[in-house]
Structure 1
Amino acid sequence: MTAQLERNAGTEVRVVKLGANIGARVDGVRLSGDLDAETVARIRSALLTHKVIFFRDQQHLDDAGQLAFAQLLGDLTLAHPTVRNKDNANILPIDSDYSKANSWHTDVTFVDRVPAISVLRAVQLPEYGGTTTWASTVSAYEKLPASLKALVDSLWAVHTNAYDYAANVDEARIGGVDVKFQQYREEFVSDVYETEHPVVRVHPETGERALLLGHFVKRLVGLTSTESQAVFQLLQNRVTQLENTVRWSWQDGDLAIWDNRATQHYAVADYDDLPRRLHRVTLAGDVPVSIDGVRSTTRTGDASHYSTVS
């Protein structure tokens, strides 16, 4: 591991790189809504460079503190376009009682205004398992051979929240009656969204090119369903190559921030029926743009209630 030391206002901010292509741990920062502008800039710089960054020992944070800190990085979205949180409109509980995000995805790609940044805080962790893995969609694109880049540069995909749940739920739930899980699924698709995104988007801050895929993809525009699945799986496999990933073992007090415009993630469901709960806050993003400057297009649904466009 390598480290970069940065001094700011008497505090030593230490950025520890965790992998060649993605991931860093940031030490020496006590997160709050009162951080000075230079420290916030250092955090944002580390995020853009490493795609996902981790903070240990943030036990002092509660929901209010998490929100106050997150707002230093951007404008808040609602918790989710369809899933409501009666306790706090801006926080989405990632609760194993209702769902398990054990499928590769980028958050909320079924709307036109894909969130820019996600901030996830550990609330209750299982005794074992429950790690999360992130993949760099920038690294995945950069490593494509020229022939594949020529193909994907002009491809578009339709993303929807009414995706194939049956392909992603764990077998223990199939054939049984899980009322909480069923209710969550029904709320998730209570309003249906479909958006056409470029398969390769240009990052609005770094200018990097990234693959925009994940489990919300319904099909690739202009291809048959069989062709879509074949090309999609080919590209997805490139994203999730182990060299493009970093895996985080959660501890009490941990907080993760990832660039949703440059990553996918997968919550590993290897903790049996133990309780696991994390709170996610998302920050408003832009409408993705293809390499030739064309913006994503909404096909079904209006997400203006969910988020502004950054």
Structure 2
Amino acid sequence: MPEIEIRKVTARIGAEVSGVDLAQSLDEETVATLRDALGRHKALVFDAAGLDDAGQQAFARHFGDLTTAHPTVPAVDGAPNVLAVDSERGRANHWHTDVTFVLNPPQASTLRSITVPPYGGETLIASSAAAYRDLPGPLRSLADTLWAEHTNDYDYAVPDEEIDGETAGRRAQFTSTVYRTAHPVVRVHPLTGERGLFIGGFAQRIVGLSAAESRKLLELLQSYVTRPENVLRWRWSPEQLVLFDNRITQHYAVDNYDGLPRRLHRVTVAGDVPVGVDGRESHAITGDASHYTPVAGPAPVPAAA
């Protein structure tokens, strides 16, 4: 068996992994090594030659139970745990953490390249742990006390005249059940103990503040997440897979490929309920997502380096 090699891509986030055949069942030692690497680097890139939907689901199951594809968006035919991230069905060109509008968002996400445009189409992944560490002391202390409401019925900031019937239909499907959940703005990672800014595009309001006040404060905190030093910019090649820790990252699909075909398949791993600095857990306000995701049990302790 080849030795696993893990090579950093940037100082603060991202590593490429070689020596792991994702199409094969992984032993406990390999999974522990990958889980530890994910805790360190937040995003891992693999060669996924020969991997299909079943193989992607099998790989993701090494990290926990799977969610279904999405709370409101249909899955790939015959694969209830697989979501098609397809440029023909819309573009996720906004910073977000996957499905934070439910009580227990996924702990990890896998994206596998199916169709790659000849240029552009990168995925940006940002470390919210690095963002938290970058905050000035007074702002960090404030963030520690804040809570935010996340919802799938969010402000797209797109003029109505630019929305055609197809886009309106996709939005109606996305919000067919409205979810609203209160999460701590600073989340404590259950494995590493790191603190990270748990915000992104679905965070629409700071609890106790007006919409206008919330917007200004969220924009300020978000500006630390998206600093170039905190971002991995991954240019896709065919048959690659990216695994990222959804508890302590945000991501953004860059719309810079002239409308050419771009398709990824996403499989997500069920997560735990977020916990803030004071030990309080997130709570649901509206919407029951139990059909989408189980609540993950206690996380295993990562292997020593």
Please report the TM-score for the alignment, with normalisation by the length of structure 2. Answer: 0.94
Offset at residue 86 of structure 1 (A): 5.3
What is the count of residue pairs matched by the alignment? 295
Deviates more, 1:247-256 or 1:218-227: 218-227
Q: Which of 225, 238, 241 in structure 1 is aligned with 2:224?
A: 238
Q: Give the structure 2 partner of residue 257 of structure 1.
A: 243
Q: Give the structure 1 partner of residue 162 of structure 2.
A: 175
CA distance in 2, matches of 1:243, 1:166: 27
Q: Which of 79, 98, 101 in structure 2 is aligned with 1:107?
A: 98
**CA RMSD in angstroms, aligned pairs only:** 1.4
Is there any run of 5+ residues in structure 2 with no aligned partner, and where? Answer: 297-305
* Mapping 1:69-218, distance limit 5 Å: 69-85=59-75, 87=77, 88-167=79-158, 175=162, 177-179=164-166, 181-218=167-204
CA distance in 2, matches of 1:34, 1:174: 50
Q: Give the structure 1 partner of residue 299 of structure 2.
A: none
Offset at residue 28 of structure 1 (A): 1.6
Offset at residue 178 of structure 1 (A): 4.8
Offset at residue 194 of structure 1 (A): 0.2
Matched position secondary structure for 1:166 = coil
Offset at residue 99 of structure 1 (A): 1.1
Offset at residue 33 of structure 1 (A): 4.7
Q: Which of 233, 256, 281 in structure 2 is aligned with 1:295?
A: 281
Matched position secondary structure for 1:139 = helix
Task: State the AA in 1 paired with 2:192.
Answer: T
CA distance in 1, matches of 2:73, 2:147: 27
CA distance in 2, matches of 1:178, 1:41: 47
Residues 76 and 83 in structure 2, CA contact (< 8 A), matched pair in contact too:
no
CA distance in 2, matches of 1:278, 1:209: 30
Residues 33 and 72 in structure 1, CA contact (< 8 A), matched pair in contact too:
no
Deviations 1:149-191 (A, max 9, x none): 1111100000000001234xxx9x9536352x33221110000
Q: Give the structure 2 partner of residue 7 of structure 1.
A: none
Q: Give the structure 1 partner of residue 3 of structure 2.
A: 12
Residues 60 and 267 in structure 2, CA contact (< 8 A), matched pair in contact too:
yes
CA distance in 1, matches of 2:86, 2:185: 30
Residues 21 and 139 in structure 1, CA contact (< 8 A), matched pair in contact too:
yes
Residues 204 and 215 in structure 2, CA contact (< 8 A), matched pair in contact too:
no
Q: Give the structure 1 partner of residue 266 of structure 2.
A: 280
CA distance in 2, matches of 1:85, 1:146: 44
> What is the percent sequence identity of the aligned residues?
54
Task: State the AA in 2 paired with 1:32.
Answer: A
Residues 197 and 297 in structure 1, CA contact (< 8 A), matched pair in contact too:
yes
